[in-house]
């Protein structure tokens, strides 16, 4: 008998299930027998899809309704973001303003060229009129298309066509809310994972508060339901970030290996992850649902565009100049928080809870709840005056891990890694504004 070194006989994929490509037949079986779980972005993007694409996806959800299950946290995020998403396709003013800016720039460029070549004024005026007319026509059509897109949507929930469809589809298929104790525990674990870049959801660190744990709470609720029902899971999400997907050479190969393994450990079940466009393709093949190629393309394009728009901007959305103004303002209005940021910057970006108490000379009985509020308020002011990207990341993040003294208590604070090098430069420069206006 061959020496196995005391190990069980194992196969090629044992312990490496996350690398296995799931066969189409297994996908078909899981769609028929498993738990179909939509992420919040799937429901929210119904407001963004073309009418045909929206109806195709709703048809698929109706077909799968017997196996559909919606985590409570998914609806928390759906209702939290619904009105802003409705406003998104209808908010044509920002686009029209941008068009007007480009129009003005084009006219200025034309006039500069006309002056250099001594173009007759009447010819210049004719060309300017062509530019103005073209931009005006585009702006008018943008407003008209925006108005047409929003005809089925309403802030009044009794009149919203999407809600009427969803209400019927998910009736009796929504998970229960976590107990306060379980929720607090999940928030702590979710924020710990964010701080340590463990999936899922660590790409949401820019949210900076308990909302950064939202993806983990969804994941925990899915695990709990799959364990109770003893069913495999098909998680449908428009999110394409690497905190959910295993990405190789720029391609999504499947769910993160860690998530596949965690699902197996907790439930003994298979985890599949599909994009909404993939779900439409599978439904057309396996469920005999009529789905147009245009709908598949439109869904994929919109999901990708929305996901890209949620990515962290370069430099976290900050510049050295913006951070200098931020630190000068913080030093004047919230000196303790400014000193904590300086201490963290000197320690690779992290400062412990005990160090905060020492720096601030707080009594042991004092809570750190709300400690980052002055930081976030001043950061919001800097964004509001246009010095930083409106989607710029939060600068100082609470860290929750095994060193947290109680559930929901921060173990310390960390400077967002995207801005840490610039913060260190600002401090080294003595909070002096750069001469180059950076």
Contact 325, 319 (CB under 8 A): no
351 phi/psi in degrees, rounded to 5: -130, 135
Contact 57, 280 (CB under 8 A): yes
Torsion of CA 270, 30, 202, 383, to 10 degrees: 180
Instruction: For residues 423 and 414, give the distance between their C-alpha atoms in angstroms, rounded to a whole number.
Output: 12
pLDDT tens for each residue of the chain, 438 residues long: 445 555 567 788 888 888 888 888 888 888 889 999 999 999 999 988 888 999 999 999 999 999 999 999 999 999 988 887 886 554 455 566 667 777 888 888 888 888 888 888 888 889 888 888 887 888 776 666 655 555 555 678 888 889 999 999 999 999 999 999 999 999 889 888 888 888 887 776 555 556 788 899 999 999 999 999 999 999 999 988 888 888 876 677 889 999 999 999 999 999 999 999 989 988 888 888 888 888 888 888 887 777 766 666 777 889 999 999 999 999 999 999 999 999 999 998 899 999 999 999 999 888 888 898 899 999 999 998 889 988 788 899 887 666 667 755 778 898 988 888 999 999 999 988 776 544
**Closest C-alpha among 125, 135, 127 to residue 104:** 135
Instruction: For residues 27 and 372, give the distance between their C-alpha atoms in angstroms, rounded to a whole number.
Output: 45
Domain boundaries, the chain: 17-86+159-309, 90-149, 315-428
Tokens 């985890």 label which residue? 271
∠ CA 57-60-66, rounded to 5°: 135
User: For the residues of 109-159, what is the DSSP string, one character each?
Assistant: HHHHHHHHTT--HHHHHHHHHHHHHHHHHHHHHHHHHHHHHTTT--SSGGG
Q: Omega before 200 cis (within 30°)?
A: yes
Extract the tokens encoding 342. 């300086």
Strand spans (E) along 150-241? 233-236
- 35 - beta bridge partners? 233
C-alpha 299: how far from its chain's center?
17
- 272 - beta bridge partners? 234
Instruction: For residues 266 and 219, give the distance between their C-alpha atoms in angstroms, rounded to a whole number.
Output: 12
Instruction: For residues 351 and 101, give the distance between their C-alpha atoms in angstroms, rounded to a whole number.
Output: 44
CB atoms closer than 10 angstroms to residue 215: 27
DSSP H stretches of helix in 268-400: 276-286, 293-309, 320-333, 335-345, 353-360, 373-384
Extract the tokens encoding 110. 């034309």
C-alpha 329: how far from its chain's center?
29
């Amino acid at each position: 008998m061959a020496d196995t070194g005391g190990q069980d006989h194992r196969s090629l994929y044992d312990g490496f299930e996350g690398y296995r490509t799931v066969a189409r037949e297994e996908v078909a079986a899981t769609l028929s027998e498993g738990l179909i779980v939509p992420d919040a972005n799937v429901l929210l993007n119904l407001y963004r899809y073309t009418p045909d694409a929206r109806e195709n996806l709703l048809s698929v959800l109706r077909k799968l309704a017997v196996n559909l299950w919606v985590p409570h946290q998914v609806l928390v995020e759906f209702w939290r973001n619904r009105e802003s998403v409705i406003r998104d396709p209808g908010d044509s003013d920002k686009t029209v303003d941008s068009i007007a800016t480009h129009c003005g720039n084009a006219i200025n460029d034309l006039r500069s060229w006309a002056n250099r070549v001594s173009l007759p004024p009447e010819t210049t005026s004719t060309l300017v009129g062509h530019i103005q007319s073209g931009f005006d026509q585009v702006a008018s059509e943008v407003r008209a298309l925006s108005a047409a897109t929003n005809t089925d949507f309403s802030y009044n929930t009794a009149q919203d066509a999407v809600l009427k469809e969803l209400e019927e589809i998910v009736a009796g298929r929504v998970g229960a809310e976590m107990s306060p104790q379980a929720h607090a525990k999940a928030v702590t674990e979710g924020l710990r994972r964010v701080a340590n870049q463990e999936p899922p959801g660590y790409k949401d660190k820019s949210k900076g508060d308990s909302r950064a744990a939202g993806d983990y709470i969804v994941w925990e609720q899915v695990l709990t339901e799959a364990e109770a029902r003893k069913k495999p899971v098909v998680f449908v999400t428009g999110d394409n970030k690497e905190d959910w997907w295993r990405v190789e050479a720029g391609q999504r190969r499947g769910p993160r290996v860690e998530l596949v393994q965690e699902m197996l450990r907790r439930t003994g079940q298979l985890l599949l992850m599909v994009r909404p466009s993939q779900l439409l393709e599978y439904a057309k093949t396996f469920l005999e649902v009529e789905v147009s190629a245009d709908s598949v393309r439109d869904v994929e394009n919109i999901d990708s565009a929305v996901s890209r728009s949620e990515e962290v901007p370069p430099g976290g959305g900050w510049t050295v100049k913006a951070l200098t103004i931020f630190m000068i303002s913080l030093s004047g209005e919230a000196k303790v928080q400014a000193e904590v940021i300086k201490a963290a910057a000197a320690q690779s970006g992290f400062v412990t809870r005990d160090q905060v108490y020492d720096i601030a000379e707080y009594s042991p009985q004092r809570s750190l709840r709300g400690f980052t509020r002055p930081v976030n308020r001043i950061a919001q002011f800097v964004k509001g005056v246009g010095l930083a990207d409106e989607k710029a990341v939060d600068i100082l993040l609470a860290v929750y891990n095994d060193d947290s003294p109680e559930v929901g208590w921060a173990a310390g604070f960390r400077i967002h890694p995207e801005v840490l090098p610039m913060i260190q430069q600002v401090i080294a420069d003595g909070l002096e504004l750069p001469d180059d206006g950076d």
